[in-house]
Every structure is written in C-alpha cells, then in structure tokens.
Structure 1
Amino acid sequence: MPDTNPYQKQRYESTGFVGEQIHQTRDYQIIRRPEVERLTGLSRSTIYAKMDPDSLYFDPEWPKKVSLGRRSVGWYRHEIIEWVESRTTSAAREA
C-alpha cells in the first residue's frame, strides 16, 4: 500500500487471538477539545482537571496538549484513542 499521508505511520498489533493481527494506522492528526470530549465522553472541566497536577482528578497518563497558538491547544488523536483503549483494557482486567 503506498504511503499517502506523511503524518501517518503504520504498525501491527496482536488482537490476542493466535495468528490474528489487525493493521492499524497511527494518525498524527491534532484534534481540538470538542472532538476530545466526543472520543472520551469527558466534559471540558474534567479534561482540564486531568491536566492539572493540583487537581484530585489529575491523571499523569493523560495525553499532553499541543500548543497551536497563544490561546489554542489540541491533542494528538492517536494518543487520545490509546488513552481510551488503556482505560477499557484496565477496566476489563479488574472485572
């Protein structure tokens, strides 16, 4: 498959089934807060609380923001998706 987007890298990950693999594309697209809210199901205040080390809801594993300007930030889409997937995996292990 030709590399059509210079901001994408490809990787293979095992699904846990013997011999089965899923082809995933890591997308380095930067998304804004409304999309982060949609992907995570978190509110604006919770997102910023997860970034604040003084907050009770601080999460050191929360993806780092990317500065887009003086008053504008975004997040890498693949990092948000990986964070959501890590929560799904840890919740399944605890059950």
Structure 2
Amino acid sequence: MLEKHLRLPAVIDVTGLSRSTIYAMMSQGRFPRPIALGKRVVAWPESVIAKFLRERATATQVAA
C-alpha cells in the first residue's frame, strides 16, 4: 500500500507549528526534512510526521 504524503499546509495543521518554525527546526536538525516529489514540490511522508509527534509527546512526558 502506498503511503500518504503531506504537503506543508497539512503538516502545519497536523503539528500545530507555523511555517517559519518548521523551517527553523529543520535547519537545526530538529524536524524531518521533506522529500522532493517534483522540481518545486516537496512533501513529508505521513509516517515520518507521526513518528516526530510521538517522539515529542514522549519527550514531554519524560520531562514532566
């Protein structure tokens, strides 16, 4: 089965992060990088974003 890929507006919606925060975190190595789907089209595999969110939730629970 093919995996769904999320474009930036969907990633913003799912994570609750802003565009600038996502790109700042990517430059710091704290957010997964998208894959190129075309010359000017990028997207994130849904599983990668889900893993990112699970790891953030786990890190928050450990810190509390």
TM-score (norm 1): 0.62
Residues matched between the structures, number: 64
TM-score (norm 2): 0.87
1:42 aligns with 2:42: no
Question: How is 1:23-38 mapped onto 2 (pairs within 5 angstroms)?
Answer: 28-38=3-13
Higher strand share: 1
- Unpaired segments ≥5 residues, structure 1: 1-5, 8-27, 53-57
1:90 aligns with 2:59: yes
Higher helix share: 2
Conservation of the 8 A alpha-carbon contact between 1:30 and 1:77: yes
Question: Whose Rg is larger?
Answer: 1
Q: For residues 16-61 of structure 1, what are the alpha-carbon distances to aligned partners after superposition, in whole Å with 9 as ceiling and x for unaligned?
A: xxxxxxxxxxxx2111000100111000111111122xxxxx1x24
Say what the alpha-carbon RMSD is for the aligned residues.
1.2
The percentage of aligned residue pairs carrying the same residue is 38
Higher relative contact order (CA 8 A, sep 6+): 2
